């Protein structure tokens, strides 16, 4: 996966890709990201509750199995919708600004963006440098939009 790329740089990339006139892409909203990660499940992880964290190594690169590095996509099992590395490997940027809770979040799944320039943005999925429990489908974090972090990347949505 692409890593060490800021949210701001991704916006420039998205603008260039969309200018090609072959459809439009965007960072997923936080709601879209979690929906895609869960792939129809309601459990802690997209492969089940895994309360003992005994199955996570089949699905995710994390601090305990990654040798502290990013790995090529597709080496772990995908979720039920065929999406790889929704948990672990690299944190993924979302379109949304970071909020402490979901109180006041849009009910339609659209991005919840603060009007303040430079506001922190949502990261989802955990990474190779995260503890295994950070691979939960609901796990979230944040970073500044100009930050480039060795364990943060992105995926695009249409």
What would the pLDDT profile of 37-85 be if each residue is shown by its tens digit?
Answer: 999 999 999 999 999 999 999 999 999 999 999 999 999 999 999 999 9
What is the rounded distance in angstroms from the CA atom of residue 68 to the CA atom of residue 130? 10
Residue 9, pLDDT > 90, answer yes
**Span 21-31, pLDDT tens digits:** 999 999 999 99
Quick check: 124 and 90 in contact, CB under 8 A? no
132 half-sphere exposure, CB direction, 13 A CA radius: 14
Identify the burial level of 51 via C-beta atoms within 10 angstroms of its C-beta, where 0-12 means exposed, 13-18 middle and 19 or more buried. Answer: exposed
What is the rounded distance in angstroms from the CA atom of residue 155 to the CA atom of residue 27? 7
Please tell me whether the overall predicted TM-score, pTM, comes out greater than 0.85 for this model: yes
Give me the pLDDT at residue 79, please: 98
Count the residues in the chain. 158
Q: What separation in angstroms does the CA of 88 have from each of 58, 66, 73?
A: 11, 9, 11
118 pLDDT band (50/70/90 cuts)?
Answer: confident
Q: What is the mean pLDDT of residues 123-141?
A: 97
């Amino acid at each position: 996966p692409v890593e060490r790329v800021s949210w701001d740089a991704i916006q420039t990339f998205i603008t260039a890709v969309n200018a090609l006139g072959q459809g439009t892409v965007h960072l997923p909203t936080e709601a879209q990201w979690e929906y895609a990660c869960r792939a129809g499940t309601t459990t802690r992880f997209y492969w089940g509750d895994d309360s003992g964290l005994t199955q996570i190594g089949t699905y995710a690169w994390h601090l305990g199995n990654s040798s502290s590095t990013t790995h090529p996509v597709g080496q772990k099992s995908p979720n039920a919708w065929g999406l790889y590395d929704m948990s672990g490997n690299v944190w993924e940027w979302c379109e949304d600004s970071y909020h402490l809770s979901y109180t006041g979040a849009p009910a339609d799944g659209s991005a919840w963006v603060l009007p303040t320039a430079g506001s922190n943005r949502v990261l989802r999925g955990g990474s190779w440098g995260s503890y295994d429990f950070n691979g939960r489908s609901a796990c979230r974090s944040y970073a500044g939009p100009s930050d480039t972090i060795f364990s943060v990347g992105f995926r695009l949505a249409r």
